[in-house]
């Protein structure tokens, strides 16, 4: 039986072995990072469980599963999964509507299975379409919520966690409540620890302490917080923090108190399935956004496979439902802390999960000594980095179409919830996208030819149905008696609705308004993506073409691509121009001064592949021969291509002067040809000037090849050795075809 591709990696033995080896490659980074994340995740797991209306131990169960199980199955090197504030409100309402926590666990199992299915059908692709401004808004919004929710702990007052962890709930009354309590709720000990902790975190990298890579500043802050508070206890009792100001882990008396098992009798209830679908959708969207945001701040810029992540999250939520946990997602707060602590692989995630388990079983009395002010200081710094002033400035510089969706996302995440903020910000981004498509499906200009003025409308690479209104309004606004050229030459896809508009304009509107319409490059049918023909050979493979014959074949292939109007292959392969110019050229091309078409486009070559030399009538003098020698001998070109073209106005003018017996400085371009036996015995006046000029161009090219070999010892020797080749090509402007000769043979000379 054929395996489903997305699931293949989960049963691939080699994949497991590779993951195992990579996990233990950065122990010096991952172990300290895992400890720091554990210390941050611990109170968050407890708080989110409280905010969700679930047993506190369920938050720790979810944190353990998110760290150990999802941490191993996920391909992300930095993402941390666990209970999240973004779904806590959904969990709270679900438990209330279903009437019991056990029925909720049954719904969570279904939700996990749905997530696995979403991963199998590759629904994770939705993450690729999320605008960067929305991701930045998500990060900034979470950062602001993080700062606001942690401020109470820095001054030593603990609010109701259901309000502090879901800060956007009942926003305005919550703000007023916080402000009033700030005035009379300061705890001096917490403030002292917070100030010292923030000082360490802010100035750590500006001191020699930054050289101690094995000890992250966040870990120092936690240890110092414990030591300071113990010092306060014995030396300065009025500063000592206890009770609500410290971490509080519930004790586990037996295995029965650790796990809660689901109620399987509710699978015939519609509410259970509705709850499951809601959790699956919100948890999946939250995870996709968070891994995208996490990848965005990952210092190594790794890419997390979204479909595998959905499957991993689905397995985690299914297991969480069986063991008595709450909904799990990838969590940006803990992931940010993980990155800032220096994590390199997913081992830090797994370590944090194991530490959560060990802390519950054995270390609750030690961990309960940690001041919440120390953890709050860490989260304040993380929150500021996510929502710093520079983030807002950078988005503002990108323009209103980036800044407004960003700000709207931030505002609505803070005052409502994550999902609402993202949806509203995305809606505004879509508006700007539609607006951009309205104005940019084509480029339009007035072109003045010798006799007439033509309105040219050049269609963009892809023209979708979003562009219908813009194109229709533009065409229907063309003045009467105009000449219009619609150029679809380089368009790879046009929506059928747009083609109908073009046909309607040409067959109806243009006829009624005496508009002369010419449409070029339009195909009979289009299939989306059909013409996207990426050139599969690497730059190194192209440059490895060392023989003149290989290079000539390469240019022939490029000319065929130009003739077929499919130029999406090898024009530009790097954003850095010097990457091309540092390589040796493939060929030096001798063209006529009459040729104005872009040579790289006609031969479909990359920047730097060709050296272009111009010569009127392809006449070679000593300087021209020297230039060709330098191009091949010193610059490394392996082919000299003499490139002619039809409808050569310079040659035609020289011929016309000759036939009219007028002296001209252009005579040199045709004299050798007209004195040869090929032309001297013919009645030239009776022949077509166009055809005659084409013949003379080819005659001059053949003579130039022979002159080059006869007058250059370098080329004569190079040709005999086969290190350099000479060939010719003729470009027909009528049908855009280019006819190449074979390589020049020394015997021809």
Helix (H) or strand (E) holding 517: strand 516-520
| Whole-number Å distance between alpha carbons of 695 and 658 | 16
CB 670 within 8 A of CB 688: no
Q: Which of 552, 497, 499, 558 is nearest to 533 (CA)?
A: 558
| Whole-number Å distance between alpha carbons of 363 and 357 | 10
Return the axis-axis angle of helices 171-182 and 132-155, rounded to nearest 10°: 30
Query: In angstroms, how far is the first alpha carbon of the chain from the final one?
Result: 67
CB 341 within 8 A of CB 37: yes
Q: Which of 205, 136, 178 is nearest to 381 (CA)?
A: 205
Sign of torsion over alpha carbons 8, 13, 15, 19 = positive
Q: Which of 83, 85, 80, 84 is nearest to 34 (CA)?
A: 80
Beta strands 493-494 and 462-463, pairing class: parallel
Q: Which one-letter DSSP state was computed for residue 216?
A: -
Q: Which of 592, 549, 543 is nearest to 694 (CA)?
A: 592
**Rg value, the chain, Cα:** 36
- 3-state SS class at 236: coil
Q: Which of 572, 643, 575 is nearest to 613 (CA)?
A: 643
| Whole-number Å distance between alpha carbons of 428 and 404 | 8
Q: How far is CA 480 from CA 455, 471, 477, 509, 702, in A?
A: 12, 17, 9, 10, 51
Q: Which of 314, 412, 311, 339 is nearest to 77 (CA)?
A: 339
Beta strands 483-487 and 442-448, pairing class: unpaired
Q: Which of 688, 715, 718, 693 is nearest to 704 (CA)?
A: 715
Q: Which one-letter DSSP state was computed for residue 342?
A: T
CB 111 within 8 A of CB 317: yes
Per DSSP, what are the bridge partners of residue 614?
A: 591
Give φ, ψ of 143 to 5 degrees.
-60, -45
| Contacts for 665-669: CB closer than 8 Å, 24+ residues apart | 668/617, 668/619, 669/616, 669/617, 669/619, 669/700
Give φ, ψ of 603 to 5 degrees.
-100, 0
Q: Which of 431, 503, 511, 516 is nearest to 471 (CA)?
A: 503
| Whole-number Å distance between alpha carbons of 373 and 192 | 9
| Whole-number Å distance between alpha carbons of 102 and 14 | 39
Q: Which residues contact 450 (CB under 8 A, 6 or more apart)?
A: none
| Whole-number Å distance between alpha carbons of 226 and 191 | 14
- 3-state SS class at 676: coil
Q: Which residues contact 594 (CB under 8 A, 6 or more apart)?
A: 645, 648, 649, 650, 651
CB 329 within 8 A of CB 317: no
Q: Which one-letter DSSP state was computed for residue 168?
A: T
CB 725 within 8 A of CB 641: no
How big is the CA angle at 546 (ends 542 and 547), to the nearest 5 degrees?
120
594 marked among binding-site residues: yes
| Whole-number Å distance between alpha carbons of 637 and 549 | 13
Residues placed in the known binding site for Zn(2+): 594
Residues placed in the known binding site: 594
């Amino acid at each position: 039986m054929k395996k489903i591709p997305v699931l293949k990696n989960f049963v691939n033995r080699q994949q497991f072995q590779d993951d195992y080896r990579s996990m233990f490659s950065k122990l010096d980074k991952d172990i300290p990072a895992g400890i720091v994340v554990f210390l941050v995740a611990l109170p968050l797991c407890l708080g989110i469980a409280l905010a969700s209306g679930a047993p506190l131990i369920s938050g720790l169960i979810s944190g353990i599963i998110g760290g150990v199980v999802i941490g191993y199955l996920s391909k992300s090197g930095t993402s941390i999964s666990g209970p999240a504030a973004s779904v806590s409100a959904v969990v709270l309402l679900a438990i209330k509507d279903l009437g019991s926590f056990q029925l909720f666990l049954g719904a969570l199992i279904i939700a996990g299975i749905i997530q696995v299915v979403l991963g199998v059908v590759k629904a994770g692709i939705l993450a690729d379409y999320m605008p960067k401004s929305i991701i930045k808004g998500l990060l900034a919004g979470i950062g602001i919520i993080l700062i606001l929710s942690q401020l109470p702990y820095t001054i030593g007052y603990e609010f109701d966690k259901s309000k502090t962890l879901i800060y956007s709930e009942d926003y305005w009354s919550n703000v007023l409540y916080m402000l009033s309590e700030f005035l009379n709720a300061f705890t001096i000990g917490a403030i002292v620890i917070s100030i010292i902790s923030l000082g360490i975190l802010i100035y750590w990298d500006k001191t020699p302490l930054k050289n101690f890579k094995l000890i992250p500043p966040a870990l120092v802050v936690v240890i110092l917080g414990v030591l300071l508070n113990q010092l306060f206890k014995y030396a300065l009792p009025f500063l000592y923090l206890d009770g609500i100001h410290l971490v509080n882990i519930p004790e586990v008396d037996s295995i029965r108190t650790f796990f809660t098992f689901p109620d399987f009798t509710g699978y015939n209830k519609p509410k259970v399935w509705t709850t499951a679908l809601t959790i699956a959708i919100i948890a999946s969207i939250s995870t996709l956004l968070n891994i995208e945001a996490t990848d965005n701040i990952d210092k190594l810029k790794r890419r997390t496979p979204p479909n595998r992540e959905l499957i991993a999250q689905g397995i985690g939520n299914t297991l969480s439902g069986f063991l008595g946990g709450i909904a799990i997602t990838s969590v940006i707060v803990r992931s940010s802390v993980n990155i800032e602590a220096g994590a390199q692989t997913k081992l830090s995630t797994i370590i944090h999960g194991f530490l959560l388990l060990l802390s519950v079983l054995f270390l609750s009395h030690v961990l309960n000594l940690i001041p919440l002010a120390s953890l709050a200081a860490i989260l304040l710094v993380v929150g500021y980095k996510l929502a710093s002033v520079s983030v807002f400035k950078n988005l503002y510089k990108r323009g209103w179409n980036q800044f407004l969706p960003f700000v709207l996302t931030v505002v609505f995440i803070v005052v409502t919830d994550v999902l609402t903020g993202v949806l509203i910000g995305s809606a505004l981004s879509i508006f700007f996208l539609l607006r951009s498509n309205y104005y940019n499906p084509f480029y339009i200009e007035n072109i003045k030819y010798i006799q007439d003025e033509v309105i040219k409308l050049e269609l963009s690479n892809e023209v979708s149905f979003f562009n219908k209104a813009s194109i229709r309004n533009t065409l229907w606004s063309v003045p009467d008696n105009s000449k219009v050229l619609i150029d679809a030459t380089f368009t790879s896809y046009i929506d059928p609705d747009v083609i109908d508009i073009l046909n309607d304009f040409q067959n109806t509107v243009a006829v009624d308004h005496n508009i002369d319409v010419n449409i070029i490059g339009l195909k009979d049918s289009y299939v989306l993506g059909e013409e996207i023909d990426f050139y599969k050979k690497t730059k190194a493979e192209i440059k490895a073409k060392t023989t003149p014959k290989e290079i000539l074949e390469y240019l022939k292939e490029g000319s065929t691509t130009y003739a077929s109007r499919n130029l999406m292959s090898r024009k530009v392969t790097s954003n850095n121009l010097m990457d091309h110019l540092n390589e040796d050229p493939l060929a030096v091309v001798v063209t006529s001064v009459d040729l104005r078409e872009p040579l790289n486009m006609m031969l479909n070559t990359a920047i730097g592949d060709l050296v272009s030399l111009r010569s009127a009538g392809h006449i070679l003098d000593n300087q021209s021969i020297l230039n060709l020698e330098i191009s091949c001998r010193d610059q490394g070109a392996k082919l000299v291509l003499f490139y002619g073209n039809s409808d050569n106005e310079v040659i035609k003018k020289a011929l016309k002067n000759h036939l009219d017996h007028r002296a001209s400085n252009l005579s040199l371009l045709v004299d050798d040809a007209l004195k040869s036996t090929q032309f001297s015995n013919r009645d030239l006046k009776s022949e077509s000037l166009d055809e005659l000029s084409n013949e003379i161009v080819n005659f001059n090219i053949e003579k130039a090849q022979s002159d080059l070999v006869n007058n250059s010892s370098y080329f004569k020797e190079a040709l005999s050795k086969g290190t350099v080749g000479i060939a010719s090509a003729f470009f027909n402007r009528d049908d855009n075809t280019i006819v190449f000769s074979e390589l020049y043979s020394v015997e021809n000379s």
